[in-house]
Structure 1
Amino acid sequence: MNRAELADFLRRSRARLEPSDVGLAAGARRRTPGLRREEVAALAGMSVDYYTRLEQSRGPRPSRQMLTALARALRLTDDERDHVFHLTGAEPPRRATASGHVRPGLLLVLDRLHDTPAQVVTDWGEVLAQNAMARALVGDVISRPPGGRNLARLFFLDPATRELFPPEDRPEHARGHVASLRAVTAARPGDPEPAALVAELRSASEEFARLWEEHEVSLRRRNTKRFQHPVVGLLELDCEVLLSHEHHQLLIIHTGRPGTEAHERLRLLRVVGLQDLTPRRTAG
């Protein structure tokens, strides 16, 4: 591991970013350009002390998950992300599988969506990034451990997640998760992560196993989705899905039609939901 080169690259990558580049308010005048260390640490989901040690050439070897989180926080390109992996002696993610690295352009779009919930997920359901409104609507999935950020796993194995949807809508959500995983595993039989998730859910959830045997296939597309939010109530939202084929990633945006009750409740959510007044569930 080349600690000195890694530290230099992290410092330079941090210095070239402005708060607005990552969806943060500028705040008080800054004495030096770029993001603060604590801001990068927060974006990457790590402690400030851990990140500081990396920049001071005295940190431990970061895990693959941590490297991916750093690349996302610093808005690195694919080549820059691979460079960080190489500096630590790690093999970069394979391009033929669903990447955990979100392209800077996609993150820029996410950061600009201030008034509507949006999140980036892989085609097999791993949540990679959320804006503040998404966290207010469905919970802070990114703060969960890596094994707890998959929408299908949460839906089938976490009872609190299912409560975010009206009971009459849950069978449709279940079928959608299973049909999507069917399509992804068939399209990329060499990708081990979706296959491992399917094996886990077939063993842990009778509902998933039953639906899997029905062999339905469909990909995530635009639809209308209802959320039972504990603060603002029922929201019927249009769900738009924008595709990033190269990385097998989706930008999912939930909007309320102007003039509807859902639109007004989204505006209320922006006021009260972002203040984290209640314990949050997680779903998507």
Structure 2
Amino acid sequence: MSQLEQLQDAIRHKLPELDMVIAWGTGFDPLHATPLFIREQGDLDKMTWGPLCVHNLATYLPGLKGKKVGVVVKGCDSRSIVQLLEESLIERENLTVFGLPCEGIVDLAKVEEALGPEAGFVREVREEGDALVVQTDSGDHRLSIAELRPQKCLSCRYPNPIIADQVLGEPREPVKDPTDPDLEALEAMSYDERMQYWTAQLDRCIRCYACRNACPMCVCRDHCIAQTRDPQWISQETGVAEKWLFQIIHAQHLAGRCTECGECERACPMDIPILTLKRKMNREIKEMFDFEAGTDPEATPPLFTFQVEEAKINERGW
């Protein structure tokens, strides 16, 4: 029985007890999976699972508080479940988690770049060993899955669900000695070089807030500081300064909370490497508080507590 068939069978038995189960289904073409809200048995046939299932479905959970919901998560996505539980943003007794050990997803931007604009409409996508075969109007394109992985998969230490009621499939080995070349390159820059780098990157920002909307930990979007007018913190001016201010506030609000799912960067229509900002903030939190978001269901995020004396903050020495 395939991993998808195991998942369908598990959901089939649990669905009568739930209001819905959030999984993945085929989107507007075979290349794009989409979130699927399963409410009846017939919806199970619409399910799909594989490297094209890129969305972190935990994003929907805070908006469904009070309902009995099942959710399918990859190993990395389960960190968001843990973090939402730590912050009491979802209720464990109303949640059923179906966990899938994951070998990694593919970066759809890399797929589209490899296909090129002349490829035409995507007719079929299938996995053949270590390759993704994409059938388009111009013929079959055989792409190496390893070369299509996003950076978050190349450095993933949590391929298996941290929290789950049922785990379907065999456990995967985490990446050994993970590195983050984007973050290392950023930290090697001088302060002036970093400012120049981010000024150039954020100049492309169109303030669409897709990064915020896709983030599972951005739960105050109805009262977001980026859009509130009473008080008004950020204007609607289109200069880099306002774009920079929004992204810095976004990163600060996720300090000690970001689970590095990469949804912000995936959703960005301008290909801005936003996740690097969050990874940098996470590195600082790890060094200062020895805390990693979404990895311990019993932990309390460091910025949710107060201690008069912090082990690594020498306030009186300043």
TM-score range, shorter chain: under 0.3
| TM score, norm. by length of structure 2 | 0.24
Whose helix proportion is higher, 1 or 2?
Answer: 1
Larger Rg: 2
